Amino acid sequence: MALWGIFISAFIIGFSGAIMPGPMLGVTIDGSLKKSWMAGPLIVLGHGILELLLIAVMTFGLKDFFSNLTVAGFIGLFGGLFLAWMGYGMIKSAVGKSVSLNGQRTGNNSYLRNLVFTGIYVSATNPYFIIWWASTGMESIRRAYEIGLLGVLFFYVGHILSDFAWYTLISVAVSRGKKLVSDAVYSRIVLLLGIFIIAFSFYFIGSGCKMLLNGVM
């Protein structure tokens, strides 16, 4: 996969995860209402610091681990299955119109005082975040590292830019008292990205099975 292919796929997959309601969205909306539109970028900065540390550990600490075809195959297979589950959930939510940007505020104000730390905190304590990086994230890094450190850099930049783009949009909209994205439009975005995620999961699963077969033979 070429560098720009890594960047674009990292952005789209990252954006698919970013738009789903969760703790990050809740604290971003609260922070935007109580402080300013800068809440989103600052929270993502904290989130990105944690992700950068994870990527560094995976890249340098597990590079020999990644080089084993059998291990790489299992990572690809597990990462693909997780992506498929994620895509299915997105499509189901969009079709059932159960996704909404409303009702995402959180009542806990204590950790909103330091928004960068908030980004680290809500990420580190989110089981979904941990599972994603242990499966899909690890497989994405393994593929990016086939090109070298530049590939990993392109992956990280594409991934974190998707978070900055979405949460900055949310912060600006909330802080100005406007709803730039209606629930109907939001559902369509989730549906389209869910379809993309399902398609990309087949690529991961197919590649994983191929590596497993090559590792055994």
Token pair for residue 212?
A: 């497993």
Whole-angstrom Cα distance, residue 7 to residue 105? 32
**Average pLDDT score over residue span 112-122:** 79
Mean pLDDT across the chain: 80
Domains in the chain: boundaries? 3-216
Tens of pLDDT, residue by residue over 87-103, are: 888 788 888 877 665 65
Token pair for residue 144?
A: 């990016």
Q: 173, 179 in Cβ contact below 8 A?
A: yes
Quick one: which of 140, 108, 102, 104 has its CA closest to 121? 108
Supply the pLDDT for residue 179: 61
Supply the pLDDT for residue 111: 47
Q: Which residues contact 144 (CB under 8 A, 6 or more apart)?
A: 1, 6, 10, 151, 152, 154, 155
Supply the pLDDT for residue 7: 94
Token pair for residue 157?
A: 């930049």
pLDDT tier for residue 151 given thresholds of 50, 70 and 90: very high
What length is written for the chain? 217
Tens of pLDDT, residue by residue over 52-67, are: 998 998 888 766 666 6
Tens of pLDDT, residue by residue over 190-214, are: 788 788 778 878 877 887 888 778 7
Q: At what angle do helices 39-56 and 23-34 cross, to 10 degrees?
A: 140
